[in-house]
Amino acid sequence: MKLKFIGSSDSAGIPVVNCSCNICKDYRKRNKKNLSTCAFLEVDNSYILFDAGDDSINTFFDLKELKAKFLTHFHADHCMGLLRLRYSAIALECYHPSDQNGFSDLFKHKHSIEYKELKAFEEIKIGDITVTALPLLHSKNCFGYFIKSNNTTIAYLTDASSLPSSTLEFLKEKDLDYTFIDACYDERKNSGNHLNYLQASAILDEIETKNGYLMHISHETMQYIENKRIKLKYRYVIDDEEFNF
C-alpha cells in the first residue's frame, strides 16, 4: 500500500504565476512544479483519491480502478478535478462533508459521479480500508480523514485553522503511524483559514503520531523557511512525494 501525493502546495501552486521569488525561480529552473494538495491511496492496483484540485487529474486514473473519492471540502483547489472526472464512463462515488452549495456546477451536472454526504466520524469501508470523517475548522465545512488498513493508520488533515476537541480526542485515542497536516503559514501568521508550522507541529506532538509531516505549503512559507534558515521539528511533504507502507 502506498500514499502518493499529486501535489502538496496551497491553492496558488508552485511556481506561482509571474512570481520572481527565489523559490518560484528555482522551480522553473529545475522544470519542477508543486500542485494543490491532493493524494491517492494505492492498494492492490486500485485507488482511493483524497481531494481533486488539479483539472488534469483525470489523466492519473484513466483505465485504472478508482474505488472512491473523498473530498475534504468544496474549495476549488480541492475539487476542480471533478469537473473532468465526472465524465468517466464508469460510475464514481464521491464522499464529502455537508455543503448546500458545494461547487455548484458539480451538483448541477453530476454525470457519472454519485455524491454521498458524510456525517462527522462516519466510517466508510472500501475493501480492507476504513475511512473515518474527522471535522476540521476551516472557512467551509471540512473533513480530514482517518485511514485504517490491516497494518497501518494514517491521518490526512487539511484544510484547517484548528482541530475541534472532538477530533483531537479521537486522534489521541488512536495508535497513529502517519499524520499529514495542513501547515500553509509560517510563524508570522497565527490566524486565518490555515495552521502555521508551529501550530501544526504542536498538534502532531499532542496526538503522539509516530511519523508526522506538514503539507499545503505556500511559496511564501518556503521562502521564509529558507531565508531565515528555520529548523523544523517536522518536515514538509516534498511536491509529489510518495510513502510506502
CB 85 within 8 A of CB 58: yes
Residue-wise pLDDT tens digits, 105-139: 888 888 989 999 999 999 999 999 999 999 999 98
First to last CA, the chain: 5
Of 82, 39, 25, nearest to 241 (Cα)? 39
CB 167 within 8 A of CB 135: yes
Enumerate domains of the chain plus CATH numbers. Answer: 2-237 (3.60.15.10)
Distance of CA 7 to the CA centre of its chain: 9
Q: Is the pTM of this model over 0.75?
A: yes
Interior/surface letters 79-110, b for 16+ CB within 10 angstroms, e for the rest = bbbbbebbeeeeebebbbbebeebbeebeeee
Give the CB-side neighbour count of residue 122, counting CA atoms within 13 A: 12
Amino acid at 236: Y
Residue-wise pLDDT tens digits, 22-75: 999 999 999 999 999 999 999 998 999 999 987 777 788 887 889 999 999 989
Q: Which three cell numbers stand for residue 186?
A: 509560517
Q: What whole-number distance in Å separates Cα of residue 141 and Cα of residue 70?
A: 14
